[in-house]
Amino acid sequence: MINKKVNNVQDALKGVKNGMTFMLGGFGLCGIPENAIAELVNLDVRDVTCISNNAGVDDFGLGLLLQNKQIKKMISSYVGENDEFERQMLSGELEVELTPQGTLAEKCRAAQAGFPAFYTPAGFGTEVAEGKETRDFDGKMYVLEPAFKADFAFIKAWKGDAAGNLIFKGTSRNFNPNMCGAATITVVEVEELVAVGELDPNNIHIPGIFVQRIFQGKDYEKRIEQRTVRKRN
């Protein structure tokens, strides 16, 4: 029986070292690997490159790594609500590679599928295309984008089993599924870890072949980035 379950986040992050490249799933503060990020803070790994749609907020998510100056380079599509990210980017303390959101997702998916690169029209004629090969297809210009290369992918899923099969919920399906299998080692934390056979095969979003380690997560805050409310009538 396939068993990819590890006991805790400490075991899941064995092998993490300074200077590595990490993928981190989630969208805004939805579906981010909170336990893995907290452990990266504890391990105090330095000079890392992080690939993520955005960098959390000042005191949560990837913002915690930014506060500690653990991130050397950030590859993302969105500065967002993180003032420290903005400050480090503008001061030159942090290397930043801003990438169109769809291109970011596709660069993950290309790595997942084993494609070295792909053509996209996004970014042609802008700074995004500088230094990259461009090509005309049927009268429209495209930019050649290389797939990402990462050492670890840290993923958050709703449910998973010991074989690594995963089900995502809601907005957490942004970027998390694309990053599974897109790095040398994929580490998944789940809200509910069940026995093999308990998940309906028809509902599985990512099969276990894309996962190397899985563990039961805990103490999720699930913060809301911007809460908008109105008075009830």
pLDDT value for 79: 74
Whether 133 is covered by a domain: the verdict is no
- Name the pTM for this structure: 0.92
The CATH code of the domain that includes 52 is 3.40.1080.10
Length in residues, the chain: 233
Distance CA 167, CA 37 (A): 21
Q: Split the chain (233 residues) into runs of 10 and give each run's mean pLDDT.
A: 93 97 91 95 96 85 90 88 83 91 96 97 94 96 97 97 96 92 97 96 97 95 76 79
Whether 44 is covered by a domain: the verdict is yes
Angle CA 214–26–1, to nearest 5: 20
Whether 93 is covered by a domain: the verdict is yes
Which candidate, 37, 16, 15, places its Cα nearest to that of 25?
37
Whether 226 is covered by a domain: the verdict is no
Tell me which residue range forms the domain holding 63. Answer: 9-116+148-216
Whether 143 is covered by a domain: the verdict is no
Whether 124 is covered by a domain: the verdict is no
The token duo for 78 is 């969105």
Contact assessment for residue 203 and residue 63, using Cβ atoms and an 8 Å cutoff: no
The token duo for 157 is 């899923």
pLDDT value for 59: 80
Number of domains within the chain:
1
